[in-house]
Structure 1
Amino acid sequence: MRTICAAVMGLALLMQSVGALAGAADQGVRRGAPKGVSESFFACTDRAGGDIVGLGNCSTVEKKVQDARLNKAYSALMSKLDSQGKDHLRAAERAWIEFNAKSVDTELDVRSSEKTANIDASINEVYRYAERANTLESLLSIVGD
């Protein structure tokens, strides 16, 4: 009987922890987001709650959205720049891509003991994509559409 009670109590504590994690993650997703992250991403994370697989799917979809924004702004900016500007932008993008990859690796190394390490790193990567797209769109607004 004690074993059953202990198992039930353990399961109850686990469920409470997962629920708390979901609530904290949801608030952190919206609060930490840069401009440009889609409302559909927030709706997706709301629906996913604490489901790590669901949150991962939300991140995968939003990363594609942000990557499309980034590529559109990059292409438009490239079309406005002279040869030297294009060389600089190309080098900056290559450096940003390397920075992003190393940031993911570092975050996974640091968070390796956390259960949510992969999803946290994935959401942070989405935010980096959005921030880079914001930067390129800002530069594009300077040179004109």
Structure 2
Amino acid sequence: MERIRTTVIAFALFACASGAGAVERPSDRIRRDSPKGITEAFYACIDEAKFSDIDKAYCVSQERERQDRRLNASYQALLHKLDGDRKKNVIEAERAWLKWQDKTSQVESALYGSELMGNLEVTENEAFALCRQANQLDEYLALANEL
């Protein structure tokens, strides 16, 4: 009987210790839903912001800027690898994507509203869209490097 009691107590302590280490950070939810390429600096910033919406807005806007720079760098690198119709097609596709992204942001702004939390969601979606597009251009660049 004493052995069973000791085993149960040990199991309970192990379960508590395991649960204690599983505290979710503020960035964990975002990390699960974000595309590959979102920076660790963004997640660290979100964790430091904790529950301050103004600090989170700063983190999101900084990541949007980083992803925009990354997208532009990927686009320029890809254009330098292409010529003729390939280059023309990429330029046209990117212009179409920019128009689509602009309209998407307008729709989201109308749906989420103009309050801080709505703006935060729209800006985060923009950062993620820029990241996904940069990822796509990076894939194209890898293909272009093989030409």
Match of 1:69 in 2: 70
Q: Secondary structure at the match of 1:116?
A: helix
Q: Please say if residues 46 and 59 of structure 2, whose CA atoms lie closer than 8 Å, have aligned partners that are also in contact.
A: yes
Paired-residue identity, %: 33
RMSD: 2.1
- Amino acid of the structure 1 residue aligned with 2:145: G
Gaps of 5+ in 2: 1-23
Q: CA deviation at 1:57?
A: 0.9
Match of 1:140 in 2: 141
Match of 1:90 in 2: 91
Distance 1:82 1:113, change over 3 A: closer
Match of 1:130 in 2: 131
- Alpha-carbon distance in 2 for matches of 1:137, 1:115: 33
After the TM superposition, list the runs of 4 or more consecutive aligned residues in structure 1 that deviate by more than 6 angstroms. none
- Alpha-carbon distance in 2 for matches of 1:135, 1:72: 13
Gaps of 5+ in 1: 1-22
- Alpha-carbon distance in 2 for matches of 1:114, 1:64: 21
Q: Deviations over 1:58-80 (max 9, x none)?
A: 11211121112111111111011
The structure number with the bigger radius of gyration is: 2
Q: Secondary structure at the match of 2:56?
A: helix
Q: Secondary structure at the match of 2:35?
A: coil
Q: CA deviation at 1:113?
A: 8.1
TM-score (norm 1): 0.76
Q: Please say if residues 35 and 132 of structure 2, whose CA atoms lie closer than 8 Å, have aligned partners that are also in contact.
A: yes
TM-score (norm 2): 0.75
Task: Count matched residues.
Answer: 123
